Structure 1
Amino acid sequence: MTRNNFLMAATVVAAVFGLAFLVAPSQLVALYGVTLTPQSEVIGRIAGSVILGFAIVFWGARDGDAVEAMKAAMTGGLVANALDALILLHATVTGLLNGLGWLQVLINGALAVGFWYFTFGKGKTI
């Protein structure tokens, strides 16, 4: 197996599990005999966003091109942080998190903006 094929396989696995954790965390972990509370579903969805970010990184790194790998890492950071901000916003607004949830919304939102700016905006360096 080549590195390229390995990273493509890793992309598929990460994308499948990342999306499953994002969309249906309780149903996914129930397959393993675990029960989530509504609050722990938030953590499952955050894990899904991070795993999906890894899928983007793996895909971009598969050919060994440093510029593409950096762009994939930045895009993965953008996707993970933007999804986290949305997940945490929903959890805070619906009362699953206390007021400190707003701080996490701001942190992840600011990180998403930074990843976007340095990847696609005027601060683009790659």
Structure 2
Amino acid sequence: MSPADVAYLDIVYEDGDRLGQDWADGPTSIQAAYVWDPARIVPGLGDAHILGVEAPVWTETLATIDDVEEMVFPRLAAVAEVGWSPAPADTEDVSVARDFDTFAARLASLGQHWAAAGTNFRRVPEIPWRESVTV
């Protein structure tokens, strides 16, 4: 399952971005990439019908590895968590079941490690990024 409006990593984060495509229902924020349920995308399909999620990135408009990394990180972490975390109950609001604030704090810590490794990533404003890794 890879709905373009939440899982495609080459879709712009914000209108007017220099990198990425804008064909899939507009920008994809980090929160949108995190707060969705694969079993609620196609009516009539449930958890038993879905083998997993994927996060495609098409690189025809991305010229360098830095461009690719900026498009992939941090949204790849959001889509990965959707894939490995328990699905919300059918009656539960997905935005409540997936606690974005808790995810944002974890992502901020992960960003420290990306920075230490020299990985380029998009410092989206919704995340309280930290500048250095605490050892």
Please give the range of the TM-score, normalised by the shorter of the 2 chains.
0.3 to 0.5
**Greater relative contact order structure (CA < 8 Å, 6+ sep):** 2
Structure with greater helix share of residues: 1
TM-score when normalising by structure 1: 0.38
